[in-house]
Amino acid sequence: MESKYAIIGNSVAAVGAIEAIREIDKEGLITVVSDENVYNYSRPLISYYLGGKVEERNMYFRDKGFYERNNVKLILGKKAQRLDVNKHVVYLADETIIRFEKLLICTGGKPIVPNIEGLSEVREGVFSFTKFSDAKSMLSYIKLNGIKSAVVLGGGLIGLKAAEGLLARGLRVTIVELADRILPNTLDKEASEMLERALVGLGCSVLKGDTIIGVSTTDGVLKEVYLKSGRVIPSSLLVIAIGVRPNLDLIRGTSIGYDRGIIVDDQMQTNIAGIYAAGDVAQAKDFLTSMNSVLALWPVAFRQGKVAGFNMAGKETKYEGLFPMNSVEIAGIPTISFGLSNPQDGENYEVLVKKDGRVPLYRKIVLKDGRIVGGIFLGKIERTGIFVGLLKAGMDVSSFKEELLQDDFGFVVLPESYRKHMIVGEVIET
Amino acid sequence: MRRGSLVEGIKRVIVREEYCMGCRLCEIHCITQHSKSKNILKLFKGEEPKPLSGIYFEERGPTSFALQCRHCDDAPCLEACIGGAMYRDPITKRVLHNREKCVGCWMCIMVCPYGVIKADHSEKKVASKCDLCIEAGFPACVENCPNEAVILIDQYGRRVLKEG
Ligand SMILES: Cc1cc2nc3c(=O)[nH]c(=O)nc-3n(C[C@H](O)[C@H](O)[C@H](O)COP(=O)(O)OP(=O)(O)OC[C@H]3O[C@@H](n4cnc5c(N)ncnc54)[C@H](O)[C@@H]3O)c2cc1C
Ligand code: SF4
Ligand code: SF4
C-alpha cells in the first residue's frame, strides 16, 4: 500500500508528529504501525496502573476518536520488520508493504537485560517494566500467586516507579542499586538520601553498591535472588529496571547513521533524506552541551515528534534542543530535577542551596557564568518551571541571585523589562 | 475602535502592574467563581471548602500584580502531560485541564515558564490552574478588578470586553 507518511511506533513521539502533520497537511495519508496491540497508552502511567492509582480507561492520553479524526490508518500488533531506504518501503512482519514519501522512526527504547546466572531458566517471576503488558502480567502474577515481596533491580526512575507501584499493592520491596545512592543520574547525594529515608520509612529496603549476579528457580518459578555482596533474598518476583537503550532493530543493516541512537539533524532528519527519527530512539541536539545525546523523556519525545512532523509536512521547523528534566514523586515527596543538577567539576559552577532535612525540603540551583544551568527542587515544587524557563532563556541572573531561593521568588524579582515582556507581551490597544 | 472578539482565538488575561493597587479582589472573585455555590459570603464564612485560585499574586514593595495561565500558543504543559489531562479546547483555544485524568505528576509544573500551575492536595493530588472562567464565559478577575489592571486580550493584543 501507499501512504504519504509512515510512522513506526505509536507512542508519544508519534502523537506529536500526527498532530503537527495535520496542522499543515489535512489530507496526505498517515499510516502508523505498532507491534504493541494497544491504543496509545501513556508509558509513564504503567506504574500508576500497577499501584492501582489509574484505571485502564485513563491510561490513554488521547481520546478514542484521535486516529479517525486525524485520518490515520492504524496498524496494531504488527512489527515493522525491514526497511529499504532506497526504495522508501517498510515491510511488516506479515509481509505487508508500505510505500512512503516520508518516514518517522519512533521505535523508542528497549529494556536492558543484564547478565545474570540462571536468568534463562526462569519461566515465571521475572519482569521488565516498560510496557502496559508488563504491568498487567505482573499484576496478575501477583494476584494469582499471592506474592508478598519483590526485588527491584535498579534504583533509577523506572525502578523506583515500579517499587512505588508494588509498595502501593502492599508488597515488601527491596531495591538493589549498583551506585552509592538512588536516582544517581538525576539527583545529588543530598536529595537522593532524603528520598531514600522516605522510602525506608515506608518499609522499603534499599541496598546500594550491590547488584544481582544469579537467580534460582523451582519448576521454572523464581525462588531466590543472589547478590554480589553474598546476600541471598528469597523472592518470587524480580523486576529488572536498569534502564532502556534505543531500539535500533529496524535500522541496523540499513545506511541510516546511528551512534547510541539514530543521529538526527536539527530538523529531526536522519542522514537519509525523507527519513526522520524522534523520541527515545533518537540522538538529537542537547540544549546544554550542543552535542547530540539520547534523552529518554516524555516531553522530549513529544517535542521531537512534533518538530519531525512539521518538517515532514513541509513546514521547516528547527529543534532547539532540550535537556534532562524530570518530575517524580517518591514516597509522597515530589521532586523535580533539571539540567546539570549535579556537576562533577564543581569549581566551574556556583551552587545555591537551601534545605531542611526534617520536612524534607531541598532546593538547589546550579549557575555557570551567572546563568542557571540546572537545579533540584524537592518537597516544594510549585513554580519550578520559572527556573527551567530562565535556563532556556539564557538569562543572566547574577544581579538577583540571592533572591532565587527565597520563598516568595517570582516575576516580581525579575528585571522589569523581562517581566513585562513575559507577563504582558505586546498589547496594541488598551 | 476595533475590539477583540470574545469567541474566536486564544485569549489571555494580562495585568498592567502600574494600575494594580494590590487589593487582591481578583483572587477572591476567582475562588468564588470556582466554588460550588459561587456565593462569596458562604465561601468566606467557611461553609464550604475553598478551591484554589487560578492566580499567583506577586507583591514586593510598591509593585504588585496577578499572574495566571497565559494559554500559550506553543504550550509546553501540553507536551509534558503524561496523563493526557492538559488539552487545548478546539474551539476557544484555551488550555484546559481534566482533573479526572490528572495523576499529579507535576510534569506540567516543571515546564510552565510562568509558574502558574498549582498543586492541589484537597482531594486526590491534581494540578490546578486558570481556565479563563470557562463556565461563566468571562474571567471573574477581569470583571471585578476595580482599577482595570487585569484585562483580557486576544491573540493580536487587542482588548476584549465583556459583551452586553
Ligand atoms: C515505567 C516508566 C516510567 C516513565 N516515567 C517517565 C516520567 O515520569 N517522565 C518522563 O519524562 N518520562 C518517563 N518515562 C519515559 C517515557 O515513557 C519515554 O520517554 C517515552 O515513552 C518515549 O516515547 P517514544 O515515542 O520515543 O517511544 P516509546 O514510548 O518507547 O514507544 C515506542 C513504540 O514503538 C514500538 N515499536 C518498536 N519497534 C517497533 C517495530 N519495529 N515495529 C512496530 N512497532 C515498534 C514499541 O513497541 C513501542 O510501542 C518512563 C518510562 C517508563 C518505562
Ligand atoms: S499552564 Fe503555563 S505553559 Fe501551560 S498554557 Fe498556561 S502559562 Fe502556558
Ligand atoms: S500533574 Fe496532571 S496535568 Fe500536570 S502533567 Fe501531570 S497529569 Fe498532566
CATH number at residue A78: 3.50.50.60
Give A347's contacts (C-beta < 8 A, 6+ positions apart): none
The one-letter amino acid code at A302 reads: F
| pLDDT of res. A259 | 98
Among A48, A381, A420, select the one facing B103 at the smallest CB separation. Answer: A48
CATH number at residue B36: 3.30.70.20
Domain match, A186 and A226 both: yes
Cβ < 6 A, ligand 3 pocket:
B 80-83, 85-86, 97, 102-108, 127
Count of CB contacts below 8 A, A vs B? Answer: 134
Residues of chain A neighbouring B84 (CB-CB closer than 8 A): 42, 60-62
| pLDDT of res. A102 | 98
Cβ < 6 A, ligand 2 pocket:
B 69-72, 75-77, 95, 112, 114, 116-117, 129
CA nearest neighbour of A145 among A219, A54, A213, A199: A219
Domain of B53? 2-161
Q: Please indicate whether, in this complex, the C-beta atoms of A424 and B56 are within 8 angstroms of each other.
A: no
What span, in angstroms and rounded, lies between the C-alpha atoms of A244 and A229? 25
| pLDDT of res. A258 | 98
Cell output for B83? 496523563
| pLDDT of res. A345 | 80
Helix (H), strand (E) at residue A153: strand A149-153
More confident: A267 or B36: A267
The one-letter amino acid code at B94 reads: R
Residue A424 contacts B where some CB pair is shorter than 8 Å: yes
Give B29's contacts (C-beta < 8 A, 6+ positions apart): B40, B140, B141, B143, B144
Phi and psi (nearest 5°) for A195? -70, -40
Q: Please indicate whether, in this complex, the C-beta atoms of B106 and A383 are within 8 angstroms of each other.
A: no
What span, in angstroms and rounded, lies between the C-alpha atoms of A242 and A154? 5
Residue A407 contacts B where some CB pair is shorter than 8 Å: no
pLDDT(B103) > 70: yes
Cell output for A237? 518476583
Kindly report the pTM of this predicted structure. Answer: 0.96
Is A428 inside any structural domain? no
Domain match, A172 and A91 both: no
What span, in angstroms and rounded, lies between the C-alpha atoms of B135 and B48? 19
In percent, how much of chain B has pLDDT > 70? Answer: 95
**How many domains are contained in chain A?**
3
What span, in angstroms and rounded, lies between the C-alpha atoms of B79 and A16? 8
CA nearest neighbour of A310 among A56, A22, A66, A33: A22
Residues of chain A neighbouring B71 (CB-CB closer than 8 A): none
What span, in angstroms and rounded, lies between the C-alpha atoms of A118 and B43? 64
Residues of chain A neighbouring B15 (CB-CB closer than 8 A): 423-424
pLDDT in tens, A40-66: 999 999 999 999 999 999 999 999 899
ipTM value for the complex: 0.96
Q: What is the DSSP letter of A156?
A: S
Q: How confident is the model at residue B45 (pLDDT cuts 50, 70, 90)?
A: confident
Among B14, B56, B84, select the one facing A61 at the smallest CB separation. Answer: B84
| pLDDT of res. B77 | 98
Is A430 inside any structural domain? no
CA nearest neighbour of A241 among A108, A131, A118: A131
Domain match, A181 and A249 both: no
Domain of A96? 2-110+245-312
What span, in angstroms and rounded, lies between the C-alpha atoms of A374 and A367? 7
Domain match, A250 and A295 both: yes
Domain match, A173 and A226 both: yes
More confident: A216 or B43: A216
Cell output for A251? 535500522
According to DSSP H, which parts of A72-226 are helical? 132-145, 157-168, 189-201
Longest dimension (CA), chain A: 78
What span, in angstroms and rounded, lies between the C-alpha atoms of A6 and A83? 12
| Radius of gyration (C-alpha) of chain B in whole angstroms | 16
Last residue of a domain, one of A181, A210, A242: A242
The closest ligand to the CA of A385 turns out to be 2
CATH number at residue A344: 3.30.390
| pLDDT of res. B1 | 42
Phi and psi (nearest 5°) for A424? -105, -45
- A208: exposed, middle or buried (Cβ count in 10 Å: 0-12, 13-18, 19+): middle
Q: Kind of pairing, strands A97-105 and A89-92?
A: antiparallel
Q: Kind of pairing, strands A172-177 and A97-105?
A: unpaired
Is A411 inside any structural domain? yes
Is A341 inside any structural domain? yes
Helix (H), strand (E) at residue A389: helix A384-393
Residue A55 contacts B where some CB pair is shorter than 8 Å: no
Among B14, B100, B117, select the one facing A427 at the smallest CB separation. Answer: B14
Last residue of a domain, one of A312, A345, A366: A312
Residue A185: Cβ within 10 Å count: 13
The closest ligand to the CA of A138 turns out to be 1
In the block, cell 513575559 appears at A422
A110 Ramachandran zone, left/alpha/beta (phi>0; psi -120 to 50): beta
Q: What is the DSSP letter of A281?
A: G
Cell output for A60? 490513554
Q: How confident is the model at residue B156 (pLDDT cuts 50, 70, 90)?
A: confident
Cell output for B40? 462569596
Of ligand 2's atoms, which has the minimum distance to the CA of residue B86?
4
Domain match, A252 and A365 both: no
Q: Is the dihedral of CA B49, B50, B54, B55 positive or negative?
A: negative
Cβ under 8 Å to B: A residues 302-321 = 302-303, 306
Cell output for A9? 511506533
| pLDDT of res. B5 | 60
pLDDT in tens, B1-25: 456 666 667 888 998 999 999 999 9
Domain match, A229 and A135 both: yes
Domain match, A176 and A264 both: no
Q: Please indicate whether, in this complex, the C-beta atoms of B110 and A388 are within 8 angstroms of each other.
A: yes
Q: How would you write the pLDDT of chain A (430 residues) with one tens digit per residue?
A: 999 999 999 999 999 999 999 999 999 999 999 999 998 999 999 999 999 999 999 999 999 899 999 999 999 999 999 999 999 999 999 989 999 999 999 999 999 999 999 999 999 999 999 999 999 999 999 999 999 999 999 999 999 999 999 999 999 999 999 999 999 999 999 999 999 999 999 999 999 999 999 999 999 999 999 999 999 999 999 999 999 999 999 999 999 999 999 999 999 999 999 999 999 999 999 999 889 999 999 999 999 999 999 999 999 999 999 999 999 999 999 999 999 999 988 788 999 999 998 889 999 999 999 999 999 999 999 999 999 999 999 999 999 999 999 988 999 999 888 888 887 766 655 4
Domain match, A126 and A154 both: yes
Is A153 inside any structural domain? yes
Find the length of chain B. 164
Find the length of chain A. 430
Domain match, A290 and A366 both: no
Separation of B70 CA from ligand 2 center, angstroms?
A: 6
- Nearest-CA residue for ligand 3 atom 5 is B81
Separation of A296 CA from ligand 1 center, angstroms?
A: 8
Among A329, A388, A420, select the one facing B111 at the smallest CB separation. Answer: A388
Residue A428 contacts B where some CB pair is shorter than 8 Å: yes
CB A288 within 8 A of CB A339: yes
Domain match, A219 and A302 both: no
**How many domains are contained in chain B?**
1
Domain match, A68 and A132 both: no
The one-letter amino acid code at A393 reads: A
